[in-house]
C-alpha cells in the first residue's frame, strides 16, 4: 500500500510499504480521509513521537476491510471513526482511569503506523461505528473534537455564563469556540494573528475577534482563557487575562523549550487555576455522538482535501496557516 512516512526530522515522503495485517482483536481500516494537525508538525520537528520513522495520521475514518479472528462486533463494510489512543490498561495511571497519562502511552499515527495511508490497523475497541448520514471523510474531525471535549472535561467548573477568551482560530480554537457556546458561555472572544482564520471564527458566531487581546474591552478579564496556539507569546499574554477566580486552559502543544513567566502572587491572590488537557480520555464516544448530531459544520472546518501523494504539500500548507483543517485522501 501507499503510505506517508516521516523518515527522520524534517524528512517526509510517500512510499510503498507492506499491507498491514490485523492482530486477533484488530481490524484493518481502509482510510477515507486523514486530517493533519499541529501534532504532525511536532513529529516532523522530532518532538512528541517517541521514535522515527513513523507513518503519521491520528485523525481518520474509513471502512473496515478485514477483521482479526477474535473480532465479532465489526464486519467488513462497517464505517468507523478511529480513536488513536492506545493505553496499556495496566500501569498506575491506567488503573486510576487516567489512560491518557499512561506510563506506556502509545497512539496510532504517533508511535504505531497511522492513517496517512491506504490502510491502517486499529483495535476493534477503538473503532466507533458511524451512522449512515455522516459523510465518511468528515468523520475524521471526530478525533480533534474528542480532544476539545477532554479540554472541557478538565475544567473544574463549566463556563456557564462565563466570558471566554480563546487564543488561536485554527481547527482546535474553533472547536473550543463551538463547545464554549454549547456549554453556555456568555461571550466567546477569539484572538489570532491571522485575519483569515479570524474570519471563520466570526462565521461560527464568536462575540468578537482581535489580533491582540488589547483591542478587546473586558477590564475584569475572562473567566476562562484557552490557549489553542501552543505559542509562548500567546500563552504569556493569556495568563495575564484570566479574571479573578478564573481558569487558564493550556490546550495548545508548545515546543519542549517554551517557557513563560507566571505571577504567583496574582495566582494566589485571585485564586486562578492553571490547567492542561492532553489528547483523548473517555471523550471519543461523546465526540462521535455530538458530531453526528451536527455540532460542527464540516464544510466550514475542512478547507482542503489533497491526495495522499501530496502529503508533504499538505503539511506545508498547514504549516503556512493556509486554510483550516487539511485532509489527505488515500
Ligand atoms: N491538548 C490536546 O489534546 C490537543 C489536541 C490537538 C491539537 N492540540 C494543539 O492545539 C494547538 C492548535 O491546533 P490547531 O490544529 O488548531 O493548529 P493551527 O496551527 O491550525 O492553529 C493555531 C493558530 O494559532 C495562531 N497563532 C499562532 N501564534 C499566535 C499568537 N502569538 N497569538 C495569537 N494566535 C496565534 C495561528 O495563526 C493559527 O491560526 C496546536 O498546538 C496543537 O498541537 C492539542
Ligand atoms: Zn490531531
Ligand atoms: Zn498504562
Closest atom, ligand 1, to C-alpha of 254: 41
Separation between Cα atoms, residue 71 and residue 124, nearest integer Å = 7
Closest atom, ligand 1, to C-alpha of 150: 3
Separation between Cα atoms, residue 286 and residue 283, nearest integer Å = 5
Q: Which residue has the cell 501523494?
A: 309
| Continuous segment of H or E residues that includes residue 123 | strand 119-123
Averaged pLDDT of the chain: 96
Q: Yes or no: say if 114 and 120 are a contact pair by the CB < 8 Å rule.
A: yes
Residue 129 has which C-alpha cell? 461505528
Q: What is the pLDDT of residues 6-43, one digit of tens each?
A: 999 999 999 999 999 999 999 999 999 999 999 999 99
Q: What is the pLDDT of residues 130-172, one digit of tens each?
A: 999 999 999 999 999 999 999 999 997 777 899 999 999 999 9
Q: Which of 280, 272, 236 is nearest to 254 (CA)?
A: 236
Kindly give, in sequence order, each residue whose CB lies less than 8 Å from that of residue 5, ignoring residues fewer than 6 positions away: 12, 13, 14, 15, 17, 53, 54, 55
Residue 68 has which C-alpha cell? 482479526
Ligand 1 centre to CA of 168 (Å) is 5
Bigger pLDDT: 30 or 46? 30
Number of neighbours of residue 212 by Cβ within 10 angstroms: 9
Q: Which ligand is nearest to the CA of 147?
A: 1
Residues lining ligand 1, CB < 6 A?
37-39, 144, 147, 167-173, 191-194, 197, 228-231, 233-234, 251-253, 277-279, 321
Bigger pLDDT: 167 or 47? 167
Q: Using alpha carbons, list the distances in angstroms from residue 43 to 32, 82, 85.
A: 22, 20, 16
Q: What is the pLDDT of residues 76-135, one digit of tens each?
A: 999 999 999 999 999 999 999 999 999 999 999 999 999 999 999 999 999 999 999 999
Q: Which residue has the cell 487555576?
A: 273
Asked if residue 305 has pLDDT above 90, the reply is yes
Ligand 1 centre to CA of 295 (Å) is 20
Kindly give, in sequence order, each residue whose CB lies less than 8 Å from that of residue 87, ignoring residues fewer than 6 positions away: 94, 99, 100, 102, 105, 106
HSE, CB side, 13 Å, CA atoms: give it for residue 320: 7
Query: Which SS3 state, helix, strand or coil, does residue 83 take?
Result: coil
Indicate which residue's Cα is closest to atom 13 of ligand 1: 172
Separation between Cα atoms, residue 203 and residue 211, nearest integer Å = 16
Q: Which ligand is nearest to the CA of 86?
A: 3
pLDDT band at 47 (very low <50, low <70, confident <90, very high): confident
Residue 31 has which C-alpha cell? 482510510
The rounded percent of the chain whose pLDDT value lies above 90 is: 95
Amino acid at each position: 500500500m501507499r503510505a506517508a512516512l516521516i523518515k527522520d526530522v524534517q524528512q517526509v515522503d510517500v512510499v510503498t510499504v507492506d499491507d498491514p495485517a490485523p492482530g486477533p482483536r484488530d481490524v484493518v481500516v481502509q482510510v477515507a480521509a486523514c486530517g493533519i494537525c499541529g501534532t504532525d508538525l511536532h513529529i516532523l520537528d522530532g518532538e512528541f513521537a517517541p521514535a522515527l520513522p513513523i507513518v503519521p495520521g491520528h485523525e481518520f475514518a474509513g471502512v473496515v476491510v478485514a477483521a482479526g479472528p477474535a473480532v465479532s462486533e465489526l464486519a467488513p463494510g462497517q464505517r468507523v471513526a478511529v480513536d488513536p489512543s492506545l493505553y496499556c490498561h495496566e500501569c498506575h495511571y491506567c488503573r486510576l482511569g487516567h489512560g491518557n497519562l499512561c506510563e506506556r502511552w502509545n497512539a496510532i499515527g504517533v508511535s504505531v503506523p497511522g492513517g496517512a495511508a491506504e490502510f491502517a490497523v486499529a483495535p476493534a475497541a477503538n473503532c466507533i461505528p458511524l451512522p449512515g448520514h455522516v459523510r465518511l471523510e468528515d468523520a475524521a474531525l471526530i478525533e480533534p473534537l474528542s480532544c476539545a471535549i477532554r479540554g472541557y472535561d478538565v475544567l473544574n467548573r463549566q463556563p456557564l455564563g462565563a466570558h471566554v477568551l480563546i487564543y488561536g482560530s485554527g481547527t482546535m480554537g474553533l472547536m473550543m469556540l463551538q463547545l464554549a457556546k454549547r456549554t453556555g458561555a456568555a461571550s466567546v472572544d477569539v484572538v489570532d494573528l491571522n485575519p483569515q482564520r479570524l474570519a471563520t471564527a466570526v462565521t461560527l458566531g464568536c462575540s468578537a475577534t482581535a489580533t491582540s487581546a488589547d483591542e478587546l474591552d473586558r477590564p475584569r478579564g475572562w473567566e476562562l482563557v484557552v490557549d489553542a496556539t501552543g505559542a509562548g507569546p500567546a500563552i504569556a499574554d493569556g495568563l495575564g487575562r484570566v479574571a479573578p477566580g478564573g481558569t487558564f486552559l493550556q490546550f495548545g502543544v508548545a515546543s519542549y523549550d517554551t517557557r513563560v513567566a507566571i505571577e504567583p502572587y496574582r495566582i494566589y491572590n485571585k485564586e486562578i487555576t492553571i490547567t492542561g488537557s492532553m489528547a483523548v480520555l473517555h471523550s471519543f464516544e461523546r465526540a462521535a455522538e455530538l458530531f453526528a448530531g451536527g455540532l460542527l459544520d464540516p464544510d466550514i472546518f475542512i478547507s482542503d482535501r489533497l491526495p495522499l501523494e501530496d502529503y508533504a504539500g499538505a503539511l506545508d500548507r498547514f504549516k503556512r496557516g493556509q486554510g483550516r483543517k487539511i485532509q489527505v485522501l488515500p
